[in-house]
Amino acid sequence: MRIGWAITGAGHLLDESVEVLEELAKNNEITVFLSNAGEEVLKMYGLFERVAAITGGYYKELVLDSDQSFSYPISGRLSLGKYDFFIVSPTTSNTVAKIVYGISDTLVTNSVAQAGKGMVKTLIVPVDIEAGDVETILPSKLELESCADCKECLAAQTCPYGAIIAKQEINLLKCIGCGKCENSCQYNAIKSGKLITIHMRDIDIENTHKLVLMEGISVLKHPKELKDYI
Residue type, 102: G
CATH class of the domain at 140-192: alpha beta
Q: CA angle, 103 as apex, 222 and 136 as ends, to 5°?
A: 30
Residue 198: pLDDT over 90: no
Sequence ranges of the domains in the chain: 2-129+201-229, 140-192
- Confidence band for 63, pLDDT divided at 50, 70 and 90: very high
pLDDT in tens, 121-149: 999 999 998 888 877 777 888 888 888 88
Range scoring the smallest mean pLDDT among 34-43, 60-69, 116-125, 195-204: 195-204
Which among 112, 110, 142 is positioned nearest to 125, based on CA atoms? 112
Nearest-10 Cα torsion for 75, 222, 96, 131: 180
Q: How far apart are CA 137 and CA 193, in angstroms?
A: 5
Contact 78, 120 (CB under 8 A): yes
Contact in structure between 223 and 16 (CB atoms under 8 Å): yes
Assigned fold of 2-129+201-229: Rossmann fold (3.40.50)
The model's pTM is 0.87
Per-residue pLDDT tens over the stretch 8-59: 999 999 999 999 999 999 999 999 999 999 999 999 999 999 999 999 999 9
Q: What confidence category does residue 174 fall into, taking pLDDT thresholds of 50, 70 and 90? A: confident
How far apart CA 208 and CA 211 sit, in angstroms, is 5
DSSP assignment of 186-207, as one string? TT--EE-S-EEEEEPPHHHHHH
Averaged pLDDT, 89-101: 98
Query: Is-same-fold flag (2-129+201-229; 140-192)?
Result: no
